Amino acid sequence: MLVNARENICKKLFMGGSVIRKNAVPAALALLYSVFYTVIGPMTLSQNISADSFEIIPFIVCFIICFVFNRILFFLVNELCIFNKKTRITLWLDKIGNRRLFFAVWIFIFLSWIPALLITFPGVISYDMISQMDSALNAISSNHHPVLHTWLIRIFMRFGESCFSSYETGLGFLSLLQMLLLSYALSRMIILIRKQGVSDLIVIVVTVLSAFWFENACLSVSMIKDTLHAAFLLLFACHFTGIVMNPDEYRNHRRNYILLPLTGFLMLASRNNGIHIYLFCFAGLLLLRLCEVKKTRRFLPLAAVIVLPVILFKVYTGPVFSSLGIEQGQVREALCVPIQQLQRVAVYNMSELDENDQGKMNYYIDSLLWIDPYPGRMYDPFNADPAKSCFYSDNYNEDPAVFWKFWLKMGHRFTKQYAVAFLSNSIGFWYPDYYGFSYVMFDNYSPDELPAPVTRKSIWAPKALTGLYESLCSGDKWREIPLIRIFFVPAYISWALLYVIILSWKKKKYLSEVLPLFLPHIAQLGIMMLCPISSFRYAWPLYLIFPIAFIGLKNEKV
Q: Which long-range contacts (CB under 8 A, 24 or more apart) does 305-311 make?
A: 305/256, 305/257, 305/260, 305/261, 306/260, 306/264, 306/282, 308/261, 308/264, 309/260, 309/261, 309/264, 309/265, 309/267, 309/268, 309/278, 310/264, 310/268, 310/275, 310/278, 310/279
In the prediction, which pLDDT does 373 show?
Answer: 62
In the prediction, which pLDDT does 91 show?
Answer: 80
In the prediction, which pLDDT does 324 show?
Answer: 93
Percent of the chain exceeding pLDDT 70 equals: 92
**pLDDT (mean) for 443-465:** 93
**pLDDT (mean) for 238-245:** 96
Under a CB-based contact definition with an 8 Å cutoff, are residues 310 and 260 in contact? no
In the prediction, which pLDDT does 557 show?
Answer: 45
Over 90: is that where the pLDDT of 308 sits? yes
- 60-112 pLDDT, tens digit per residue, is 999 999 999 999 988 887 665 555 556 677 788 888 888 999 999 999 999 99
- 515-538 pLDDT, tens digit per residue, is 999 999 999 999 999 999 999 999
In the prediction, which pLDDT does 558 show?
Answer: 42
User: Domain spans of the chain?
Assistant: 2-80, 88-329+456-554, 331-425
**pLDDT (mean) for 469-486:** 92
Under a CB-based contact definition with an 8 Å cutoff, are residues 514 and 552 in contact? yes
Distance CA 517, CA 508 (A): 12
Q: Which residue would you say has higher pLDDT here, 11 or 166? A: 166
Over 90: is that where the pLDDT of 140 sits? yes
In the prediction, which pLDDT does 4 show?
Answer: 52
Q: Which residue would you say has higher pLDDT here, 486 or 377? A: 486
Over 90: is that where the pLDDT of 318 sits? yes
Output the CA angle 497-499-501, nearest 5 degrees: 70
- 5-35 pLDDT, tens digit per residue, is 445 555 555 555 566 777 899 999 999 999 9
Distance from the Cα of residue 46 to its chain's centroid: 26
Under a CB-based contact definition with an 8 Å cutoff, are residues 200 and 558 in contact? no
In the prediction, which pLDDT does 109 show?
Answer: 98
Q: How sure is the predictor about 299, in pLDDT bands with cuts at 50, 70 and 90? A: confident
- 393-452 pLDDT, tens digit per residue, is 999 999 999 999 999 999 999 999 999 999 999 999 999 999 999 999 999 999 999 999
Cis bond upstream, residue 520 (ω within 30): no
DSSP string computed for 451-487? SS------S---HHHHHHHHHHHH-SGGGGSTTGGGG
**Of 413, 429, 398, 275, residue with least CA distance to 354:** 413
In the prediction, which pLDDT does 8 show?
Answer: 53
